[in-house]
Structure 1
């Protein structure tokens, strides 16, 4: 009887393996706590990574994570090199012209301005950056916002950490970046030279991105996201990375 049950279990496992699909997920592992490389294991971890893996599992699939530069993620989607982008990507009208987004999975607190501690009284508002050098990650919403500042010169980098280093060395006057990313960076680097200007410039939502027309993948991601929100897995992941449960709406 035990052998018979074991055989059934093995058959079921094999069938699951055959039916399961590998979802190729593109990310930029330099945007903690959404996605980054664990310094101890060199494994790509983060809020987005846990979410997309949970979504894949909930739909009987498996997520394979591929690290790439943020600026190359949308082209990779458009050329079908990857199926989904899980990269702290804010849903914007400009990006919606290029890709399709899932239902929002995270409310971004907003973009903030990070400045050198010695300039905290000098730069308090966006207008103070007119004609100045402003740092941001290539292709980010921070970079888009920087372009709206009159006569400002955008200094763009592949990684957010590089932008912060440029700020410390005096290569720019401010970094425009996600509030949570900055708080995580400052907390884990014990950084004293960089401070946040306490003002939120936008309120946006993050979504997983897919190529336009990929209705099958769009359905998989939204179905999985709905499932993990209903079964409590989303709340567990959220609390793991942000230290609190998400606010219920």
Structure 2
């Protein structure tokens, strides 16, 4: 195999989005898979798609692999296989820099923002009654972070990489991460079950970019 097609969900900054000027898909996931491809001598063709179509495209052989900030889960392992993890993520609390919130217990009776239908949403739903939380659900990161600015929420529970990227991109907003991750999620590249050799090749390339420093360069670029 001299090339492969990878599916990336867009728009999902900082992992993948379409450059409005060039029309090309860019992002952390794109840089990672291209760096891996270069190490193992395989060219990468990026296919932009939506989350709703991503598993269908893989299983119907419209792409060879999927890299889309996808968490390894038991349910997904029933139908697909994964590479080694290329990023460890988890839920954190984002707050204004002058906030007194430092951990989960400090959220007691506070207004907490989450992204709808995400891990943060599900976790806060379980904690709502215990900590008397007022949960506000948002359809996008932009609206969720804006809620911290305008005082609509006291804190935002969200994936660490998303918070890191947003805070780095908007230093004027004076937001900070209040605590260490309180969940752990491993992002990995997905393949069809029969693609064992391709998975091994990708794992080999992933190990190489971690060893030679390229992975760290990409990590620092976005986070």
> Out of 74, 96, 100, which is 1:121 matched to?
100
Residue 164, structure 1, aligned to residue 164, structure 2 = no
Give matches, 1:31-180, under 5 Å: 31-32=13-14, 34-37=15-18, 43-70=24-51, 72-108=53-89, 110-116=90-96, 120-121=99-100, 124-125=103-104, 128=107, 134-136=113-115, 138=117, 140-151=118-129, 153=135, 155-157=137-139, 159-169=140-150, 172-180=153-161
SS where residue 203 of structure 2 aligns? helix
Contact 1:90 1:207 in 2 (8 A): yes
Partner residue, 1:12: none
Task: Name stretches of at least 5 consecutive residues in structure 1 with no aligned partner.
Answer: 1-18, 244-249
Residues 197, 229 of structure 1: alpha-carbon distance in 2 compared, 3 angstrom cutoff: closer
Deviation at 1:53, TM superposition (A): 0.9
Return the structure number with greater relative CO, CA threshold 8 A, min gap 6.
2
Distance in 2, Cα, partners of 1:91 & 1:130:
33
Partner residue, 1:242: 220
Contact 2:58 2:66 in 1 (8 A): yes
Distance in 1, Cα, partners of 2:201 & 2:141:
30
SS where residue 22 of structure 1 aligns? strand
Contact 1:27 1:73 in 2 (8 A): yes
SS where residue 184 of structure 1 aligns? helix
- After superposing the two structures, state which structure 1 stretch, 146-155 or 123-132, moved more: 123-132
Q: Across the two proteins, how many residue pairs are aligned to each other?
A: 217
Deviation at 1:103, TM superposition (A): 0.9
Partner residue, 2:163: 182
Distance in 1, Cα, partners of 2:109 & 2:163:
22
SS where residue 5 of structure 2 aligns? strand
Residue 209, structure 1, aligned to residue 190, structure 2 = yes
**Scaled by the length of structure 1, what TM-score is found?**
0.67
Residues 220, 199 of structure 1: alpha-carbon distance in 2 compared, 3 angstrom cutoff: closer
Distance in 2, Cα, partners of 1:61 & 1:80:
18
Distance in 1, Cα, partners of 2:205 & 2:48:
22
**Scaled by the length of structure 2, what TM-score is found?**
0.73
Deviation at 1:172, TM superposition (A): 5.0
Contact 1:133 1:173 in 2 (8 A): yes
Distance in 2, Cα, partners of 1:147 & 1:95:
23
Task: Name stretches of at least 5 consecutive residues in structure 2 with no aligned partner.
Answer: none
